[in-house]
């Protein structure tokens, strides 16, 4: 039952975000922020596919234990693509609110992203092992959480200042994604049921993508708003 339900959920998620991303790129009418948002959605879906597709195969065949190395490699790829996702979301913020300069913020985004990716690449993570250490899971997620916090603050401030109704909940989608993700990092190995939090975490990312799609549709068809 778990195999069927989880596989269906993941399939719907991946198809949805990648399809929406492609649609945004095709229908952005030259608006850079929405083209970039579409690329961001594709990066999100394509990156997650490296972990979710092997997981679905494992659940539907011989079990997760038989795919430890492949699942670990998928997690590594997803960790990197999620970091890229937040870099792209930062540039969506810059384009949407016509931000110029702010070199210090840009440097902070790249520094946190670089530290995160570098920590992910350390062999001590033991990605291909069934006994990956929790300590390195925490280390690599500290700069990732700080990057997320920075993006949260940026969208919260600018959406409020500019009365941006379309993006008014963007900050909340990121808050929720981390709120559901962090417990999984910390306790999923000891309390497997906590892994279920990845479902609402995934829904939070879908909400993020839907905000961009809705905003693009609103600008393209203002009379239908």
pTM of the model: 0.93
pLDDT score of 225:
31
Count CB neighbours of 107 within 10 A: 10
pLDDT score of 221:
44
Cβ atoms of residues 105 and 154 within 8 Å:
yes
- Domains in the chain (CATH in brackets) are 2-224 (1.20.1070.10)
d(CA 128, CA 139): 18
Enumerate residue ranges in the chain where pLDDT < 50.
Answer: 221-225
SS (H, E, C) the chain: CHHHHHHHHHHHHHHHHHHHHHHHHHHCCCCHHHHHHHHHHHHHHHHHHHHHHHHHHHHHCCCHHHHHHHHHHHHHHHHHHHHHHHHHHHHHHHHHCCCCCCHHHHHHHHHHHHHHHHHHHCHHHCCCCCCCCHHHHHHHHHHHHHHHHHHHHHHHHHHHHCCCCCCCCHHHHHHHHHHHHHHHHHHCCCCHHHHHHHHHHHHHHHHHHHHHHHHHHHHHCHHHC
């Amino acid at each position: 039952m778990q195999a069927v339900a989880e596989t269906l959920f993941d399939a719907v998620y991946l198809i949805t975000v990648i399809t929406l991303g492609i649609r945004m790129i095709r229908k952005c009418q030259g608006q850079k922020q929405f083209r970039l948002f579409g690329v961001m959605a594709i990066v999100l879906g394509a990156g997650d596919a490296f972990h979710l597709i092997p997981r679905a195969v494992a659940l539907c065949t011989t079990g997760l234990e038989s795919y430890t190395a492949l699942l670990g490699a998928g997690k590594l790829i997803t960790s990197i693509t999620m970091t890229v996702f937040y870099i792209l979301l930062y540039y969506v913020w810059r384009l949407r609110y016509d931000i110029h300069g702010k070199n210090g913020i840009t440097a902070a985004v790249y520094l946190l992203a670089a530290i995160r990716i570098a920590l992910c690449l350390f062999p001590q993570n033991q990605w291909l092992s069934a006994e990956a250490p929790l300590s390195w899971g925490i280390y690599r997620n500290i700069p990732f959480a700080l990057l997320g916090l920075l993006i949260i603050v940026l969208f919260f401030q600018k959406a409020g200042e500019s009365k941006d109704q379309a993006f008014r909940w963007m900050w909340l989608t990121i808050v929720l994604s981390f709120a559901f993700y962090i417990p999984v990092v910390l306790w999923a190995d000891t309390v497997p049921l906590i892994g279920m939090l990845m479902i609402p975490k995934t829904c939070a990312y879908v909400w993020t993508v839907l905000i961009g799609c809705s905003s693009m549709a609103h600008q393209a068809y203002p009379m239908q708003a």
